[in-house]
Structure 1
Amino acid sequence: MTMDMTTMGSGALVAMGVYHLAIFVFALLGIAASIKYLRS
């Protein structure tokens, strides 16, 4: 792999950001679903 560090670094940073955002969204959906389930 002959990539320079800046390209690889920013790509990894964006991938990690998307990954954490997806986890955050799934956690929110899970919490909202459990609240709806508990209140019904």
Structure 2
Amino acid sequence: MGERMMLGTMGEVLHQGFLLQEIREYGQGATLVFN
């Protein structure tokens, strides 16, 4: 059970990191467009 929780947490962290990277890249693209 503890192992499953660890894997779930890792998955969440990776997922959040992926979303943040997407947002960052989108923000850079928007900056280029608006400037």
User: Above 0.5 in TM-score?
Assistant: yes
Unaligned runs of 5+ in 2: none
CA-based RMSD of the aligned residues comes to 0.6
Unaligned runs of 5+ in 1: none
- Identity, % of aligned positions: 11
The structure where helix makes up a greater share of residues is: 2
Whichever of the two has the greater Rg, that structure is 1
TM-score scaled by structure 2?
0.90
Tell me the number of residue pairs that the alignment of Structure 1 and Structure 2 aligns: 35
Structure 1 stretches of 4+ with a deviation exceeding 3 A read: none
